[in-house]
Structure 1
Amino acid sequence: MPEPGAGPRRSPQGVPYTELPHIVNADGQHLFCRYWEPAGPPRALVFIAHGAGEHSGPYNEMAQRLKELSLLVFAHDHVGNGQSEGERMNIKEFQVYVRDSLQHIDLIKSRHPDLPVFIVGHSMGGAISILAACERPSDFAGVVLIAPMVQMSPDSVTPFKVFVAKLLNHMLPSLPLGSIESKWVSRDKKQVEAYDTDELNYHGRLRVSFGMQLMAATERIEREIPSISWPFLLLHGDADKLCEIQGSKMMYENVASSDKKFKIYEGGYHALHHDLPEVAESVLKDVTSWITERLPASTTPQQQGL
Structure 2
Amino acid sequence: MEALSSSRISPHGSLVGLGITRDGLGWSIKEYPLKKEVRRDSVSAVKLNSRTVISAVHRIHGSKLIEGVDEEMNKLAQENMDYAPARRLVRDAFTPAQQNLDHCLFKMTPSGVKTNESYETNSRGLEIFSKSWLPESIPVKGIVCFCHGYGDTCTFFFEGIAKKIAASGYGVFSMDYPGFGLSEGLHGYIPNFDELVDDVIEHFSKVKAQSDFKDVPCFLFGQSMGGAVALKVHLKQPREWDGTILVAPMCKIAEDVTPPKPVLQVLGLLSRILPKQKLFPQKDISELAFRELKKRNMAVYNVIAYKDQMRLMTAMELLKTTAEIETQLEKVSSPLLILHGDADQVTDPSVSKSLYEKSNSLDKTLKLYREGYHCILEGEPDERIYEVFDDMISWLEAHCRSRVLNTSL
**Deviation sequence 1:193-244 (CA, Å, 0-9, x none):** 2212221211211122111010111122123211111111111112111112
Question: 2:244, 2:335 within 8 Å by CA — same for their partners in 1?
Answer: yes
Partner of 1:280: 385
Q: Counterpart amino acid of 1:152?
A: I
Report whether the alignment pairs 1:295 with 2:400.
Answer: yes
Question: 1:151, 1:246 within 8 Å by CA — same for their partners in 2?
Answer: no
Partner of 1:106: 205
Describe the shift of the 1:146–1:139 C-alpha distance in structure 2 as closer, same or farther (beyond 3 A): same
Q: Offset of 1:14 from its aligned partner?
A: 4.2
Partner of 2:141: 43
Detail structure 1 runs of 4+ shifted over 4 Å in the superposition. Answer: 297-300
Report whether the alignment pairs 1:86 with 2:185.
Answer: yes
Partner of 1:182: 286
Equivalent residue in structure 2 for 1:191, among 258, 277, 295 = 295
Question: 1:179, 1:203 within 8 Å by CA — same for their partners in 2?
Answer: no
Question: 2:142, 2:216 within 8 Å by CA — same for their partners in 1?
Answer: yes
Distance 1:277 1:211 in 2: 32
Question: 2:243, 2:336 within 8 Å by CA — same for their partners in 1?
Answer: yes
**SS in structure 1 at match of 2:400:** coil
**Deviation sequence 1:144-181 (CA, Å, 0-9, x none):** 01001001323537543442232222233324222542
**SS in structure 1 at match of 2:239:** helix
Q: Which residues of structure 2 form unaligned runs of 5+?
A: 1-83, 91-115
**Greater Cα offset, 136-145 or 240-249:** 240-249
Spell out the pairing of 1:32-71 with structure 2 (5 A cutoff).
32-39=129-136, 40-57=138-155, 58-71=157-170
Distance 1:281 1:68 in 2: 14
Question: 1:141, 1:231 within 8 Å by CA — same for their partners in 2?
Answer: yes
Equivalent residue in structure 2 for 1:168, among 270, 281, 284 = 270
**SS in structure 1 at match of 2:202:** helix
Question: 1:43, 1:299 within 8 Å by CA — same for their partners in 2?
Answer: no
Q: Which has the higher contact order (CA 8 A, sep 6+)?
A: 1
**SS in structure 2 at match of 1:294:** helix
Partner of 1:5: none
Q: Counterpart amino acid of 1:279?
A: R
Q: Counterpart amino acid of 1:54?
A: D
Q: Offset of 1:12 from its aligned partner?
A: 3.5
Question: 1:11, 1:85 within 8 Å by CA — same for their partners in 2?
Answer: no
Distance 1:241 1:48 in 2: 23
Partner of 2:243: 142
Cα RMSD, aligned residues only:
2.1
Q: Counterpart amino acid of 1:63?
A: A
Q: Counterpart amino acid of 2:389?
A: L
**Equivalent pairs, count:** 289
Equivalent residue in structure 1 for 2:228, among 112, 127, 139 = 127
Report whether the alignment pairs 1:271 with 2:375.
Answer: yes
Q: Offset of 1:11 from its aligned partner?
A: 6.7
Normalised TM-score (structure 2): 0.67
Describe the shift of the 1:69–1:193 C-alpha distance in structure 2 as closer, same or farther (beyond 3 A): same
- Structure possessing the higher radius of gyration over alpha carbons: 2
Spell out the pairing of 1:194-213 with structure 2 (5 A cutoff).
194-213=298-317
Distance 1:103 1:43 in 2: 23
**Deviation sequence 1:25-52 (CA, Å, 0-9, x none):** 2221111111101123311110111101
% same residue: 29
Normalised TM-score (structure 1): 0.88
Partner of 2:253: 152
**SS in structure 2 at match of 1:295:** helix
**Deviation sequence 1:99-119 (CA, Å, 0-9, x none):** 121112111111121121101
Q: Counterpart amino acid of 1:287?
A: M
Distance 1:78 1:212 in 2: 17
Q: Offset of 1:285 from its aligned partner?
A: 0.6
Question: 2:253, 2:322 within 8 Å by CA — same for their partners in 1?
Answer: yes
**Deviation sequence 1:272-291 (CA, Å, 0-9, x none):** 00122111111111111111
**SS in structure 2 at match of 1:205:** coil
Describe the shift of the 1:141–1:157 C-alpha distance in structure 2 as closer, same or farther (beyond 3 A): farther
Question: 1:65, 1:288 within 8 Å by CA — same for their partners in 2?
Answer: no
**Greater Cα offset, 243-252 or 276-285:** 243-252
Question: 2:253, 2:346 within 8 Å by CA — same for their partners in 1?
Answer: no
Describe the shift of the 1:106–1:180 C-alpha distance in structure 2 as closer, same or farther (beyond 3 A): farther
Q: Offset of 1:61 from its aligned partner?
A: 2.0
**Deviation sequence 1:242-300 (CA, Å, 0-9, x none):** 11212212211211111111111111111100122111111111111111110045769
